[in-house]
Amino acid sequence: MHYAPRNALRLVGIGLLLAGTAAQAELYKCRGTNGHTTYQQTACEATAQSADLSVDTQAPKNAPLAEDYSVGKQLESMRDARTKRALAREQARHAEETERARRTDTNRFDAAKCARHRSEVAKWHQKVLNGYRTRSEKDFNQNKLAYHQALVERYCE
């Protein structure tokens, strides 16, 4: 016995699937017990009156500039829109990172700020060494020292 390669079988299966779904779409017209008519893609409930409708989703063949409404074309359009949104998000993120880097680079070495915060570090270091009266005073002094040390790292390096 001779068996066809798997790839060939897959291609035939995909072709049959695409050929069967491109031309027709299922649509159901349902009339509920309350008298309201709805149109849906799934079968009607058992309590509703139903009628199957056949809808051709392809554009007319004789129209030269007709738009193709096939499932494949709609899927392609949705993929294109998703790709455009992803690209826009990526560009916005890149612009934000570039702006953040620019702001950070301009805030680097600043001699006046460096000198000011070095003197503040020395002052708060001395206050921490001299002790404290309450626990909250100790925490305050240590927080101020840490804050000015971080600013020294930012402006002096």
Domain that holds residue 42: 23-56
pLDDT tens for each residue of 56-95: 666 666 665 567 777 888 889 999 999 999 999 999 999 9
In-domain check, residue 96 = yes
User: For position 85, what pLDDT does the model report?
Assistant: 94
| CA nearest to 121, candidates 81, 149, 140 | 149
pTM across the whole model: 0.33
- Same domain membership, residue 120 and residue 80: no
Q: Please give the span between the terminal C-alpha atoms of the chain, in angstroms, as a whole number.
A: 77
- The verdict on residue 124 lying in a domain is yes
Asked, for residue 2, whether it belongs to a domain, the answer is no
Q: Which residues of the chain have pLDDT under 70?
A: 1-25, 47-48, 50-66, 104-108
In this structure, are 94 and 120 located in the same domain? Answer: no
Helices 111-130, 135-156: inter-axial angle, 10-degree rounding: 160
- Assess if residue 13 is contained within a domain: no
Q: Are 123 and 151 in contact (CB under 8 A)?
A: no
